[in-house]
A and B are shown apart, each in its own frame.
Chain A
Amino acid sequence: MDKCIACGECAAKCPKKVTDTFNAGLATRKAIYVEYPQAVPLKYAIDAGSCIYLKNGKCGFCAKVCPTKAINFEEKPVSVTLQVGSVVLAPGFSTFDPQKLDTYQYSQYKNVITSLEMERLLSATGPFNGHLVRPSDHREPKKIAWLQCIGSRDINRCDHGYCSSVCCMYAVKEAVIAKEHSAEPLDTAIFYMDMRTYGKEFESYYKRAEEEKGVRFLRTRVHTILEDRNTQDLVLRFVDEDGKLIDERFDMVVLSVGMETSKELAALARRLEIELNADNFAATDCFSPVKTSRDGIYVCGAFQEPKDIPYSVMEASAAACWAEADLAPARGTLTKTKTFPEERQVADEEARIGVFVCNCGTNIGGIVNVPEVAEMAKGLPGVTYVEENLFTCSQDSQEKIKDIIEKKGLNRVVVAACTPRTHEALFQETLRDAGLNKYLFEMANIRNQCSWVHSKEKDAATAKAKDLVRMAVARTRLINSLGQPTISVEPSALVIGGGIAGMTSALGLADQGYQVYLVEKEGQLGGNARALLSTWKGDNVGERLAEMIARVTGHQRIAVHTATSVKASSGFIGNFETVVSGGGGDKVLRHGAVVVATGAEEYKPKEYLSGRDPRVFTHLQLDQAIAAGDPRLDSADTVVFIQCVGSREEERPYCSKVCCTHSIKAAIRFKERKPDSQVFIIYRDIRTYGQREYLYKEAREKGVIFIRYDLDEKPEVSDKGDTLAVVVRDHVLGRKIELHANLLVLAAAIVPRDNETLAQMFKLSCNSDKFFNEAHAKLRPVEFATAGIFLAGMAHYPKPIEESIAQAAAAASRAAVTLSKESITVEGVVSHVQQFMCRACGECERACPFNAIAVQEVEEGLRAAVVKEALCKGCGMCAVACPTGAASVRHFGDRSVLTMVETAFAAEA
């Protein structure tokens, strides 16, 4: 594998075509293959089940053409035994196979595809390069239908009673993207039961898809698909909301298939002796959502429950957090730090540049005339040594380069080969091994950006390669050694907010050995959880919370500051200084990281007589009444719940995520305590995602009655003396009905706290709903864009306890990455300011996206811009904004860039 240079000669010669599973079976690939061009590692692999040589002992073309002799047919699978302290299972999911359902004729009708196949059809790297065509005739479709809940929420036909949580959103996304891909107007229709767009920014995405993009949403289940034999169009038969039977023709049908655990994975779980639940997902409880039934084995992602990317990423970091706590005493015992010889000082030397030109087998040498390029390089100013290599990146070449740097006294190196994106680090390490600063290096990209893209124009490619080498050499003469500043790290964290999220972060860090300052503005720890009765799985929140509080207050490395607020903060990653103010006056805390876990609160409704009639409760009020043993609860004959009170409307367009589950859980309790009572839930969409769906099913089985309403026709509540009258239009009967409730429970929205103050103090951003913005919605869900500051719990978005805990443990794990280091080494490519030229105008500060440069008093009476190198990413925006030229970026100074411009077309000049 080390020898493979991913040139693709083997796949070009391989005679065996097989189905391309990466493209969901929509294309073919060879028996020797890389899954996709961006694959990591970018190494070809042999599909042993299809390879002709491995099956029949004949063929072997690939081995014959491989320029590096990387193919070894004799290699056999080997068993290795690993000694590890912990195991994390992140095996993912399989998509439901719709062949099991004959309604949709997935295997018969060519134009019925799965949603994963649709992803590949839409993808620029897919079988049609992102050109949206239907499989039967490669014609552009004019009408596409998506059918939801295929293999989800369906006990009868597929034995998957749970909701797969992600299909509503991906169907909306595919419909929107498909419209963007179509030259002609495309009609898209999504057939659904409930739209479950419960995540951050999901509801507004759904609304935009409907109102701005014109995606049609039809609340019905399609019961038959018929194919027109001539056109292979598909006719969908369904009953519309008015009860009319409709036949509608589509060009294509996409089945929104759910997630499941494969048989192989279930077998693996049994071998590992971890408990699975009835749906074959790893069993966990809400207070330790990534812990399996077996100590030391953790789980994350869709194997725990179907979920989307950000929650998988959160759980992944959470699993790391718990494993890190388990193994804290052994941290750093098995990892090694590489040491390098002392760096030579080259600043005063004349440039002595070595140029290494790579043939990359025939990838470069087969097109570019490498000897000619090398010959040209010999004549360039500053160049003292030139060599051609078959593979400059190979291990023996590294030894040779190191040797030559030392023997020839080279002080700068240019490698003309592939791309710095993949190989710069390798060569820089070779330089460091030879005692040169890693910034004394430059690459000329003569493969990816030359020989590969001009393979039919050999002369022009050679001319271009020469130019690229000339440009690289010119630049190299002007670059210098750069220091990489190190900043010390204070191994402690400030956690703001003492609710479940804040306490989880605090424990996660303290258990790993870091000092934690936990600041809570109320007089006691616990936050919203103090008012909650149980999780959806039935854990007693009060008991678990008390255990958690006891562990936090008893922890030797957690300093709890209740009735305390954060007053001011300065500093940066590794070195924050924060002033907190509480009962004992102001206190200054020094810490290396910050976790913001300030939570959110329940909306205080103004509607539906809330606050004016004692029979009207919010969720938290209801839970507290139950805990207090309020006698009215058990005597109520009729209980009505109204959903989305303050959510999913103009003022607060987001979904509060937890309310459907909470109402249903409470409704079941009423039914259990008094089976003859009447319990109604008036809702818009029931969003019991994942396995919470079973609660919805249980509620219906127990006789809870669900009545749907639309935003433009909200229920009306009035005081009728003995009872509260609730008037609502019933969507089944098609007329208004009046319910007489003894109790009315409002699923009040979850609203953000005043996040603005903290946002300004730490330079954080909030979204339009006033929740904090994470650095990246998918990949960095617990970090802020500002380094060293992390986010957890409902300050990010409304979420249930188990998700707050996962996110909080994740924040602890991400913070621990910084805190586990004594110091952080910063890249050398950072901005710097020549103070004598700076006139403190602040343009740089306004331009910087990372808060890395600021005007401050540098000595008495003198103000100038100062760079915080720890935060600087070297983008150079400040250098461009600076009117005097005081700010510049190291390694990318004006001269070192412009010299490349000047030499770019030198050959023809």
Chain B
Amino acid sequence: MSGEFTPKIIMFACNWCAYSAADLAGVSRFQYPPNLRIIRVMCSGRINPNFILKGFENGADGVLVAG
């Protein structure tokens, strides 16, 4: 890793839309930085505010909820 700041990001993705979109990004070979970890949930409505705080607590610099 270089000295530059690379934020670590956790993404909660809805199975039916955002997660598929992330798959499609792959099919289309879009390139994006590798510092994102996607966690699949059945609906973004499942995301408890607590999940987001836990993300930060575990070292994430950003949490993305997409759905």
B is a partner of A: yes
Which residues in window 32-61 of B have CB below 8 A to A? Answer: 32, 34-35, 37-43, 45-48, 50-51, 54-55, 58-60
The answer to whether B8 touches A905 (Cβ under 8 A) is: yes
Does A875 reach chain B (CB closer than 8 Å)? Answer: yes
The answer to whether B31 touches A453 (Cβ under 8 A) is: yes
Does A419 reach chain B (CB closer than 8 Å)? Answer: yes
The answer to whether B20 touches A421 (Cβ under 8 A) is: yes
Does B64 reach chain A (CB closer than 8 Å)? Answer: no
The answer to whether A38 touches B29 (Cβ under 8 A) is: no
Q: Knowing A452-B26, A889-B42, A892-B46 are in contact, say whether A901-B10 is a contact too (CB < 8 A).
A: yes
The answer to whether A829 touches B42 (Cβ under 8 A) is: yes
Contact with A along B18-35 (1 / 0, CB 8 A): 011011111111111011
In angstroms, Cα B66 to Cα A894, docked, is 18
Which residues in window 546-587 of A have CB below 8 A to B? Answer: none
**How many B residues, CB 8 Å from partner?**
36
Q: Knowing A453-B31, A455-B31, A905-B8 are in contact, say whether A880-B23 is a contact too (CB < 8 A).
A: no
Of A458-466, A634-642, A789-797, which binds chain B? A458-466
The answer to whether B43 touches A877 (Cβ under 8 A) is: yes
The answer to whether A445 touches B23 (Cβ under 8 A) is: yes
Does A372 reach chain B (CB closer than 8 Å)? Answer: no
Q: Which residues of A contact B60 (CB under 8 A)?
A: 901, 904-905
The answer to whether B34 touches A454 (Cβ under 8 A) is: yes
Q: Which residues of B contact A278 (CB under 8 A)?
A: none
The answer to whether B46 touches A448 (Cβ under 8 A) is: no
Q: Which residues of B contact A445 (CB under 8 A)?
A: 23, 38
In angstroms, Cα B50 to Cα A876, docked, is 14
The answer to whether B26 touches A902 (Cβ under 8 A) is: no
Q: Which residues of B contact A877 (CB under 8 A)?
A: 43, 45-46
Q: Knowing A875-B43, A876-B45 are in contact, say whether A904-B20 is a contact too (CB < 8 A).
A: no
In angstroms, Cα B42 to Cα A201, docked, is 31
Contact of A880 among B19, B35, B39, B45 (CB under 8 A): B45
Does A897 reach chain B (CB closer than 8 Å)? Answer: yes
The answer to whether B46 touches A875 (Cβ under 8 A) is: yes
The answer to whether B26 touches A449 (Cβ under 8 A) is: yes
Which residues in window 434-463 of A have CB below 8 A to B? Answer: 445, 447-450, 452-457, 460-461, 463
Closest to B39 in A: A900
In angstroms, Cα B24 to Cα A445, docked, is 12
In angstroms, Cα B23 to Cα A40, docked, is 15
Q: Which residues of B contact A455 (CB under 8 A)?
A: 29, 31
Contact of B22 among A42, A448, A463, A897 (CB under 8 A): A448
The answer to whether A419 touches B31 (Cβ under 8 A) is: no
The answer to whether A453 touches B30 (Cβ under 8 A) is: yes
The smallest beta-carbon distance between B8 and chain A, in angstroms, is 5
Q: Which residues of A contact B29 (CB under 8 A)?
A: 452-453, 455
The answer to whether A448 touches B43 (Cβ under 8 A) is: no
Does A80 reach chain B (CB closer than 8 Å)? Answer: no
Which of the listed residues B20, B26, B28, B51 has the most CB atoms from chain A within 10 Å of its own CB? B26
Q: Which residues of A contact B25 (CB under 8 A)?
A: 448-449, 453
In angstroms, Cα B37 to Cα A450, docked, is 10
The answer to whether A897 touches B42 (Cβ under 8 A) is: no
The answer to whether A901 touches B51 (Cβ under 8 A) is: yes
Which residues in window 707-731 of A have CB below 8 A to B? Answer: none
The answer to whether B34 touches A876 (Cβ under 8 A) is: no
In angstroms, Cα B45 to Cα A876, docked, is 6
In angstroms, Cα B11 to Cα A905, docked, is 13
Which of the listed residues A879, A897, A904, A908 has the most CB atoms from chain B within 10 Å of its own CB? A904
The smallest beta-carbon distance between A445 and chain B, in angstroms, is 7
Closest to A902 in B: B58
The answer to whether A892 touches B58 (Cβ under 8 A) is: no
Q: What 6 A-B pairs come out closest when comparing CB atoms?
A: A876-B46, A448-B26, A875-B43, A452-B26, A460-B34, A877-B45
Q: List 15 A-B contacts (CB under 8 A).
A: A449-B38, A453-B25, A453-B26, A453-B34, A829-B42, A876-B45, A877-B43, A894-B51, A897-B39, A897-B51, A900-B39, A901-B51, A902-B58, A905-B37, A908-B8
